[in-house]
Amino acid sequence: DAGVTQSPTHLIKTRGQQVTLRCSPKSGHDTVSWYQQALGQGPQFIFQYYEEEERQRGNFPDRFSGHQFPNYSSELNVNALLLGDSALYLCASSFGTDGTEAFFGQGTRLTVV
Amino acid sequence: EDQVTQSPEALRLQEGESSSLNCSYTVSGLRGLFWYRQDPGKGPEFLFTLYSAGEEKEKERLKATLTKKESFLHITAPKPEDSATYLCAVQAADYKLSFGAGTTVTVRA
């Protein structure tokens, strides 16, 4: 059983560019949440998708947007990249929106130069 | 605003030397407290969920406990493979997860 898979694993972008990160949830899961983890910090909640709609959002600007597809996979888009957007981006999947026992992917390491 | 504070930031242990990690929290309507293990460059791995004060859960050398204001993760007779960063997270009434910064545990053989 494949767990949560994220792509790509690493990415280098230039300031001002746009980036799209992808996530496939664990089999049987229908909810995807995205987190940003800066070096030495805990993950920070960006937003959660369920039934193809954004259900919850953390304190992130509108430059961060997402999408969920009918097969429950999800994308995270970040526009107008800043140096401060450099981080590990984590996707977590769960069944339902209560977040119980969320399973995380390996993450995408984004470096903005 | 929900807050999670973990201490210490780093912990160096000798193999077999038991110790505890602390997670103190303030949250509006605690639905659950989660412990995760994270290895360098990888995503967090789920360990435990605790729902109410007094609850305890165990897994191998790890034991998690919960009070109304904090949780402890006890590591009994640790081995080098227990070296990792341990993250605590609380789930508020709105189901959002808030993480602490983690405690990095290093176990020397």
Yes or no: say if B90 and B32 are a contact pair by the CB < 8 Å rule.
Answer: yes
Please, which residues 79-98 of chain A have a Cβ atom closer than 8 Å to chain B?
88, 90, 92, 97-98
The Cα of B7 is separated from the nearest Cα of chain A by a number of Å equal to 13
Tell me the chain A residues in contact with residue B46 when contact means C-beta distances shorter than 8 Å: 101-104
pLDDT digits (tens, 9 = 90+) for B20-65: 999 999 998 899 999 999 999 899 999 999 999 999 999 999 999 9
Q: Return the SS3 of A85.
A: helix
Whole-angstrom distance, CA of residue B21 vs CA of residue B15: 16
Give the confidence band of A99 by pLDDT, cuts at 50, 70, 90.
Answer: low
Tell me the chain B residues in contact with residue A105 when contact means C-beta distances shorter than 8 Å: 43
Evaluated on CA atoms A38, A42, A45, A49, the torsion sign reads positive
Mean pLDDT of all residues belonging to chain A: 94
Chain B residue whose CA is closest to A105: B43
Question: Which of B39, B43, B47, B27 lies closest to B97 in space, CA to CA?
Answer: B27
The Cα of B78 is separated from the nearest Cα of chain A by a number of Å equal to 23
- Confidence at residue A5, expressed as pLDDT on a 0 to 100 scale: 97
- Confidence at residue A69, expressed as pLDDT on a 0 to 100 scale: 97
Yes or no: say if B94 and B101 are a contact pair by the CB < 8 Å rule.
Answer: no
Pairing of strands A53-57, B45-50: unpaired
User: A85 — alpha (psi -120 to 50), left (phi > 0) or beta?
Assistant: alpha
pLDDT digits (tens, 9 = 90+) for A24-55: 999 999 999 999 999 999 999 999 999 999 99
Give the closest of A40, A42, A105 to B43, CB-based: A105
Tell me the chain B residues in contact with residue A40 when contact means C-beta distances shorter than 8 Å: 101
